[in-house]
Amino acid sequence: MSLSDISQQLTFYGGIFLIFVGVFGNGMNVLIFSTIRSYRTNPSTFYFLIGSIDNILYILINLISRIVATGDGIDLTRTSTVWCKMRPFFLTTLTLMNLTCSCLATMDQFFITSKHVKIRRCSNIKWAHKIVLIFIMIWCLHAIPIFIFYEISPITQTCGNTNAAYGIYTTIYLLGLVTSIPVILMVFFGYLAYRNIHMTRNLNRQDVDRQLMRMTLFQVLLNIVCIVPYGINNLYSLVTSGVNKSADRLQLEYFISTILTLLTYGYFTGSCYMFWISSSRFRKATKDRICFWRRQNRINALQTVTYGRTAFEMKTQN
Protein backbone atom coordinates (compact mmCIF):
# COMPACT_ATOMS: atom_id res chain seq x y z
CA MET A 1 0.00 0.00 0.00
CA SER A 2 1.43 3.37 -1.05
CA LEU A 3 1.60 6.49 1.11
CA SER A 4 -1.16 8.03 -0.99
CA ASP A 5 -3.48 5.11 -0.20
CA ILE A 6 -2.60 5.31 3.49
CA SER A 7 -3.33 9.06 3.42
CA GLN A 8 -6.77 8.43 1.95
CA GLN A 9 -7.53 5.75 4.55
CA LEU A 10 -6.42 8.08 7.37
CA THR A 11 -8.59 10.88 6.00
CA PHE A 12 -11.64 8.63 5.67
CA TYR A 13 -11.57 6.67 8.94
CA GLY A 14 -9.88 9.38 10.99
CA GLY A 15 -12.40 11.89 9.70
CA ILE A 16 -15.37 9.71 10.69
CA PHE A 17 -13.94 9.31 14.19
CA LEU A 18 -13.34 13.07 14.51
CA ILE A 19 -16.90 13.86 13.39
CA PHE A 20 -18.47 11.76 16.15
CA VAL A 21 -15.99 12.88 18.80
CA GLY A 22 -16.16 16.53 17.77
CA VAL A 23 -19.94 16.85 17.44
CA PHE A 24 -20.52 15.10 20.78
CA GLY A 25 -17.84 17.09 22.63
CA ASN A 26 -18.81 20.47 21.25
CA GLY A 27 -22.48 19.64 21.70
CA MET A 28 -21.80 19.06 25.41
CA ASN A 29 -19.96 22.40 25.51
CA VAL A 30 -22.97 24.20 24.03
CA LEU A 31 -25.35 22.45 26.44
CA ILE A 32 -23.31 23.25 29.54
CA PHE A 33 -22.23 26.79 28.69
CA SER A 34 -25.76 27.78 27.66
CA THR A 35 -27.69 26.26 30.57
CA ILE A 36 -25.52 26.91 33.63
CA ARG A 37 -25.95 30.51 34.73
CA SER A 38 -22.46 30.96 36.16
CA TYR A 39 -21.05 29.97 32.76
CA ARG A 40 -23.67 31.77 30.67
CA THR A 41 -22.98 35.16 32.27
CA ASN A 42 -19.19 34.90 32.13
CA PRO A 43 -17.44 36.51 29.12
CA SER A 44 -14.74 33.81 28.88
CA THR A 45 -17.22 30.95 28.78
CA PHE A 46 -19.42 32.93 26.39
CA TYR A 47 -16.45 32.97 24.01
CA PHE A 48 -16.08 29.22 24.58
CA LEU A 49 -19.79 28.82 23.75
CA ILE A 50 -19.47 30.69 20.46
CA GLY A 51 -16.28 28.76 19.71
CA SER A 52 -18.07 25.45 20.29
CA ILE A 53 -20.92 26.38 17.95
CA ASP A 54 -18.28 27.43 15.43
CA ASN A 55 -16.52 24.07 15.88
CA ILE A 56 -19.69 22.11 15.11
CA LEU A 57 -20.29 24.09 11.92
CA TYR A 58 -16.65 23.68 10.87
CA ILE A 59 -16.74 19.92 11.44
CA LEU A 60 -20.02 19.41 9.58
CA ILE A 61 -19.11 21.62 6.61
CA ASN A 62 -15.48 20.61 6.19
CA LEU A 63 -15.02 17.07 7.42
CA ILE A 64 -18.17 15.54 5.94
CA SER A 65 -17.46 16.93 2.47
CA ARG A 66 -13.82 15.83 2.76
CA ILE A 67 -14.79 12.28 3.78
CA VAL A 68 -17.36 11.99 0.98
CA ALA A 69 -14.79 13.22 -1.55
CA THR A 70 -12.19 10.73 -0.27
CA GLY A 71 -14.44 7.71 0.25
CA ASP A 72 -16.97 7.98 -2.59
CA GLY A 73 -15.08 10.25 -4.95
CA ILE A 74 -17.94 12.77 -4.93
CA ASP A 75 -16.32 16.20 -4.71
CA LEU A 76 -18.86 18.97 -5.21
CA THR A 77 -16.10 21.58 -5.41
CA ARG A 78 -15.22 20.06 -8.80
CA THR A 79 -18.77 20.19 -10.16
CA SER A 80 -20.56 23.05 -8.38
CA THR A 81 -19.28 26.59 -8.74
CA VAL A 82 -21.45 27.69 -5.83
CA TRP A 83 -19.97 25.09 -3.47
CA CYS A 84 -16.49 25.83 -4.83
CA LYS A 85 -16.92 29.36 -3.45
CA MET A 86 -19.06 28.66 -0.38
CA ARG A 87 -16.90 25.95 1.19
CA PRO A 88 -13.65 27.97 1.43
CA PHE A 89 -15.68 31.02 2.49
CA PHE A 90 -17.14 29.13 5.45
CA LEU A 91 -13.85 27.47 6.33
CA THR A 92 -11.95 30.75 6.32
CA THR A 93 -14.60 32.60 8.32
CA LEU A 94 -15.17 29.81 10.84
CA THR A 95 -11.45 29.24 11.38
CA LEU A 96 -10.73 32.90 12.06
CA MET A 97 -13.80 33.27 14.28
CA ASN A 98 -12.79 30.27 16.34
CA LEU A 99 -9.24 31.50 16.84
CA THR A 100 -10.62 34.94 17.69
CA CYS A 101 -12.83 33.47 20.42
CA SER A 102 -9.85 31.63 21.91
CA CYS A 103 -7.80 34.84 21.90
CA LEU A 104 -10.67 36.83 23.44
CA ALA A 105 -11.15 34.22 26.18
CA THR A 106 -7.46 34.42 27.07
CA MET A 107 -7.56 38.22 27.10
CA ASP A 108 -10.68 38.16 29.28
CA GLN A 109 -8.84 36.01 31.82
CA PHE A 110 -6.14 38.65 31.95
CA PHE A 111 -8.80 41.33 32.52
CA ILE A 112 -10.73 39.50 35.24
CA THR A 113 -7.63 38.44 37.20
CA SER A 114 -6.10 41.92 37.22
CA LYS A 115 -5.76 43.73 40.56
CA HIS A 116 -6.73 46.99 38.85
CA VAL A 117 -10.45 47.76 38.91
CA LYS A 118 -10.45 49.57 35.55
CA ILE A 119 -8.90 46.58 33.82
CA ARG A 120 -11.32 44.15 35.49
CA ARG A 121 -14.21 46.23 34.18
CA CYS A 122 -13.10 45.33 30.65
CA SER A 123 -14.46 41.85 31.37
CA ASN A 124 -18.10 42.54 30.58
CA ILE A 125 -20.67 40.14 29.14
CA LYS A 126 -22.50 42.88 27.22
CA TRP A 127 -19.23 43.97 25.63
CA ALA A 128 -18.49 40.33 24.81
CA HIS A 129 -21.77 40.03 22.86
CA LYS A 130 -20.96 43.16 20.85
CA ILE A 131 -17.32 42.15 20.23
CA VAL A 132 -18.34 38.73 18.89
CA LEU A 133 -20.89 40.30 16.54
CA ILE A 134 -18.30 42.79 15.27
CA PHE A 135 -15.73 40.09 14.57
CA ILE A 136 -18.29 37.91 12.78
CA MET A 137 -18.95 40.82 10.40
CA ILE A 138 -15.22 41.53 10.01
CA TRP A 139 -14.31 37.95 9.09
CA CYS A 140 -17.28 37.62 6.73
CA LEU A 141 -16.14 40.76 4.91
CA HIS A 142 -12.57 39.49 4.95
CA ALA A 143 -13.61 36.32 3.06
CA ILE A 144 -15.60 38.10 0.33
CA PRO A 145 -12.69 37.92 -2.22
CA ILE A 146 -13.19 34.14 -2.25
CA PHE A 147 -16.48 34.67 -4.11
CA ILE A 148 -14.57 36.69 -6.71
CA PHE A 149 -11.34 34.72 -7.21
CA TYR A 150 -12.29 31.07 -6.62
CA GLU A 151 -13.33 29.15 -9.74
CA ILE A 152 -13.31 25.60 -11.12
CA SER A 153 -10.41 25.20 -13.52
CA PRO A 154 -11.62 24.01 -16.96
CA ILE A 155 -8.30 22.15 -17.41
CA THR A 156 -7.79 20.32 -14.10
CA GLN A 157 -11.44 20.41 -12.97
CA THR A 158 -10.32 21.48 -9.50
CA CYS A 159 -11.54 24.38 -7.38
CA GLY A 160 -8.96 26.99 -6.52
CA ASN A 161 -7.83 30.59 -6.48
CA THR A 162 -7.35 32.25 -9.88
CA ASN A 163 -5.71 35.50 -8.74
CA ALA A 164 -1.93 35.60 -8.13
CA ALA A 165 -2.04 38.52 -5.69
CA TYR A 166 -4.74 36.86 -3.60
CA GLY A 167 -2.69 33.67 -3.66
CA ILE A 168 0.18 35.55 -2.02
CA TYR A 169 -2.20 36.98 0.56
CA THR A 170 -3.56 33.48 1.29
CA THR A 171 -0.05 32.39 2.26
CA ILE A 172 0.31 35.42 4.54
CA TYR A 173 -3.13 34.70 5.99
CA LEU A 174 -2.20 31.09 6.81
CA LEU A 175 1.12 32.01 8.41
CA GLY A 176 -0.13 35.16 10.14
CA LEU A 177 -3.82 35.19 11.02
CA VAL A 178 -4.16 31.43 11.45
CA THR A 179 -0.84 30.50 13.04
CA SER A 180 1.49 33.17 14.38
CA ILE A 181 -0.75 36.00 15.62
CA PRO A 182 -3.26 33.83 17.57
CA VAL A 183 -0.48 31.84 19.25
CA ILE A 184 1.43 34.99 20.22
CA LEU A 185 -1.70 36.63 21.64
CA MET A 186 -2.78 33.53 23.55
CA VAL A 187 0.66 32.87 25.03
CA PHE A 188 1.18 36.55 25.94
CA PHE A 189 -2.17 37.13 27.66
CA GLY A 190 -2.17 33.61 29.09
CA TYR A 191 1.14 34.35 30.80
CA LEU A 192 -0.14 37.69 32.12
CA ALA A 193 -3.31 36.05 33.47
CA TYR A 194 -1.27 33.26 35.08
CA ARG A 195 0.93 35.85 36.74
CA ASN A 196 -2.10 37.85 37.91
CA ILE A 197 -3.80 34.89 39.50
CA HIS A 198 -0.72 34.09 41.59
CA MET A 199 -0.75 37.67 42.88
CA THR A 200 -4.44 37.51 43.89
CA ARG A 201 -5.04 37.61 47.64
CA ASN A 202 -8.77 36.92 47.64
CA LEU A 203 -8.73 33.12 47.88
CA ASN A 204 -12.41 32.60 47.03
CA ARG A 205 -12.13 34.64 43.86
CA GLN A 206 -8.78 33.05 43.12
CA ASP A 207 -10.27 29.55 43.30
CA VAL A 208 -13.04 30.47 40.83
CA ASP A 209 -10.58 32.11 38.45
CA ARG A 210 -8.22 29.15 38.55
CA GLN A 211 -10.94 26.86 37.21
CA LEU A 212 -11.44 29.04 34.14
CA MET A 213 -7.73 29.81 34.01
CA ARG A 214 -6.88 26.13 33.60
CA MET A 215 -9.57 25.73 30.95
CA THR A 216 -8.17 28.71 29.05
CA LEU A 217 -4.54 27.59 29.31
CA PHE A 218 -5.42 24.09 28.11
CA GLN A 219 -7.17 25.74 25.16
CA VAL A 220 -3.95 27.63 24.43
CA LEU A 221 -1.98 24.39 24.65
CA LEU A 222 -4.42 22.70 22.26
CA ASN A 223 -3.94 25.52 19.77
CA ILE A 224 -0.15 25.26 19.92
CA VAL A 225 -0.13 21.47 19.50
CA CYS A 226 -2.70 21.35 16.67
CA ILE A 227 -2.26 24.57 14.68
CA VAL A 228 1.46 25.43 14.88
CA PRO A 229 2.71 22.27 13.07
CA TYR A 230 0.26 23.02 10.25
CA GLY A 231 1.68 26.54 9.96
CA ILE A 232 5.25 25.20 9.90
CA ASN A 233 4.27 22.78 7.14
CA ASN A 234 2.80 25.64 5.10
CA LEU A 235 5.99 27.63 5.61
CA TYR A 236 8.03 24.65 4.41
CA SER A 237 5.81 24.33 1.32
CA LEU A 238 6.31 28.02 0.57
CA VAL A 239 10.09 27.84 0.96
CA THR A 240 10.43 24.70 -1.20
CA SER A 241 7.85 25.70 -3.82
CA GLY A 242 10.58 26.29 -6.43
CA VAL A 243 12.45 23.03 -5.76
CA ASN A 244 12.24 20.10 -8.17
CA LYS A 245 10.93 17.15 -6.16
CA SER A 246 10.87 13.45 -6.93
CA ALA A 247 7.66 11.43 -6.92
CA ASP A 248 8.66 9.73 -3.65
CA ARG A 249 9.28 13.06 -1.96
CA LEU A 250 5.94 14.42 -3.16
CA GLN A 251 4.16 11.34 -1.79
CA LEU A 252 5.93 11.73 1.56
CA GLU A 253 5.05 15.43 1.76
CA TYR A 254 1.43 14.65 0.89
CA PHE A 255 1.34 12.01 3.63
CA ILE A 256 2.79 14.41 6.22
CA SER A 257 0.40 17.14 5.09
CA THR A 258 -2.54 14.76 5.56
CA ILE A 259 -1.48 13.92 9.12
CA LEU A 260 -0.97 17.58 10.02
CA THR A 261 -4.33 18.51 8.48
CA LEU A 262 -6.05 15.86 10.59
CA LEU A 263 -4.14 17.24 13.58
CA THR A 264 -5.65 20.68 12.99
CA TYR A 265 -9.10 19.09 13.24
CA GLY A 266 -8.08 18.11 16.76
CA TYR A 267 -8.26 21.79 17.66
CA PHE A 268 -11.89 21.95 16.51
CA THR A 269 -12.87 18.64 18.14
CA GLY A 270 -10.82 18.55 21.34
CA SER A 271 -11.85 21.60 23.38
CA CYS A 272 -14.49 19.76 25.40
CA TYR A 273 -12.03 17.07 26.42
CA MET A 274 -9.48 19.70 27.41
CA PHE A 275 -12.14 21.30 29.61
CA TRP A 276 -12.90 17.91 31.16
CA ILE A 277 -9.24 17.42 32.03
CA SER A 278 -8.66 20.92 33.37
CA SER A 279 -11.84 21.71 35.36
CA SER A 280 -13.53 19.64 38.07
CA ARG A 281 -16.62 21.89 37.89
CA PHE A 282 -16.94 21.25 34.17
CA ARG A 283 -16.55 17.48 34.71
CA LYS A 284 -19.28 17.54 37.34
CA ALA A 285 -21.58 19.59 35.11
CA THR A 286 -20.97 17.23 32.21
CA LYS A 287 -21.63 14.17 34.36
CA ASP A 288 -24.88 15.72 35.63
CA ARG A 289 -26.03 16.40 32.08
CA ILE A 290 -25.13 12.93 30.79
CA CYS A 291 -26.63 11.12 33.81
CA PHE A 292 -29.66 13.39 33.99
CA TRP A 293 -31.97 10.55 35.05
CA ARG A 294 -29.95 10.04 38.25
CA ARG A 295 -30.40 13.69 39.14
CA GLN A 296 -34.13 13.39 38.50
CA ASN A 297 -34.28 10.31 40.74
CA ARG A 298 -32.50 12.21 43.51
CA ILE A 299 -34.97 15.08 43.18
CA ASN A 300 -37.95 12.70 43.30
CA ALA A 301 -36.49 10.92 46.32
CA LEU A 302 -35.93 14.23 48.09
CA GLN A 303 -39.48 15.31 47.33
CA THR A 304 -40.82 12.00 48.68
CA VAL A 305 -38.82 12.34 51.90
CA THR A 306 -39.88 15.96 52.33
CA TYR A 307 -43.53 15.10 51.70
CA GLY A 308 -43.41 12.22 54.16
CA ARG A 309 -41.79 14.37 56.82
CA THR A 310 -44.40 17.11 56.34
CA ALA A 311 -47.27 14.63 56.57
CA PHE A 312 -45.79 13.12 59.73
CA GLU A 313 -45.42 16.54 61.35
CA MET A 314 -49.02 17.47 60.48
CA LYS A 315 -50.26 14.18 61.93
CA THR A 316 -48.24 14.74 65.10
CA GLN A 317 -49.63 18.25 65.55
CA ASN A 318 -53.17 16.97 65.14
pTM of the model: 0.84
Please check the confidence at residue 82 and state whether its pLDDT lies above 50.
Answer: yes
Report domain extents, the chain. Answer: 3-278
Please check the confidence at residue 13 and state whether its pLDDT lies above 80.
Answer: yes
Architecture of domain 3-278: Up-down Bundle (1.20)
- At 145-182, the pLDDT tens digits run 999 999 988 888 888 888 888 888 888 888 888 888 99
pLDDT at 189: 92
Confidence class for position 207, pLDDT limits 50, 70, 90: very low
- Residue 161, SS3 per DSSP: strand
Dist. CA 285–CA 251, nearest whole Å:
46
Sequence-distant (6+) residues with CB within 8 A of 111 are 119, 120, 122, 123
Dist. CA 101–CA 44, nearest whole Å:
9
pLDDT winner (highest mean) among 11-15, 132-136, 209-213: 132-136
Mean pLDDT of the chain: 83
**Residue type, position 38, single letter:** S
Dist. CA 223–CA 225, nearest whole Å:
6
Instruction: Mark 199-218 as b/e (b = at least 16 C-beta within 10 Å).
Output: ebeeeeebeebbebbbbbbb
Q: What is the mean pLDDT of residues 132-148?
A: 95
Q: What is the mean pLDDT of residues 285-302?
A: 63
pLDDT at 127: 93
- At 90-134, the pLDDT tens digits run 999 999 999 999 999 999 988 888 888 888 888 899 999 999 999
299 or 63, greater pLDDT: 63
Q: What is the mean pLDDT of residues 187-195?
A: 88
Of 136, 240, 229, 216, give the one whose Cα is nearest residue 178: 229
- Residue 151, SS3 per DSSP: strand
